[in-house]
């Protein structure tokens, strides 16, 4: 069955370290998205991509970057982790348009 997987599921890191969260989907979807989930804020869009070599900033993109070198993967990099980036991160993909998203199970990141 097609799926979307995130790794690691849990990570603890220190302030200032670079961190990369992986997202891999086997749906062959063109569209991929990264969200963060924080209490009281719901899901906020970090970055998104509509195809290979395409990346776009979302509403909370500062301190994050993504790259899309193939259809299956959209890694999320925190250049210099900050405590404010402690959160649960969700990757999602869709075949057509942003609405019908398939989500990964999330990556819980703690920055100490």
Partner 1 sequence: GEDVEQSLFLSVREGDSSVINCTYTDSSSTYLYWYKQEPGAGLQLLTYIFSNMDMKQDQRLTVLLNKKDKHLSLRIADTQTGDSAIYFCAETVHNKLIFGAGTRLAVHP
Chain residues that interact with partner 1, rule: CB under 8 A? 33, 35, 40-45, 48, 58-59, 90, 92, 97-106
Nearer to partner 1, 17 or 41 (CB): 41
The nearest distance, CB 1 to partner 1, in angstroms, is: 15
First vs last Cα of the chain: how many Å apart?
37
Cα 4 to Cα 107: distance, rounded to the nearest angstrom:
12
The nearest distance, CB 14 to partner 1, in angstroms, is: 25
Structure letter (DSSP) for residue 9: S
Nearer to partner 1, 85 or 93 (CB): 93
Nearer to partner 1, 39 or 53 (CB): 39
The nearest distance, CB 70 to partner 1, in angstroms, is: 22
With CA atoms as reference, report the closest residue to 36 among 15, 16, 62, 14: 62
The nearest distance, CB 19 to partner 1, in angstroms, is: 20
Please answer whether residues 10 and 83 qualify as being in contact, where contact means their C-beta atoms are separated by less than 8 angstroms: no
Mapped to the 3 state alphabet, what secondary structure does 67-103 carry? Answer: CCCCCCECCEEECCCCHHHCEEEEEEEECCCCCCCEE
């Amino acid at each position: 069955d097609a799926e979307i997987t995130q790794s690691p599921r849990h990570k603890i890191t220190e302030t200032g370290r670079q961190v990369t969260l992986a997202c891999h989907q086997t749906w062959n979807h063109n569209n991929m998205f990264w969200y963060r989930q924080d209490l009281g804020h719901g899901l906020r869009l970090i970055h998104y991509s509509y195809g290979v070599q395409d990346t776009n900033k979302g509403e909370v993109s500062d301190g994050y970057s993504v790259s899309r070198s193939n259809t299956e993967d959209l890694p999320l990099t925190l250049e210099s982790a900050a405590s404010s980036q402690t959160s649960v991160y969700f990757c999602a993909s869709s075949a057509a348009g942003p609405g019908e998203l398939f989500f990964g199970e999330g990556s819980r990141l703690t920055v100490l």
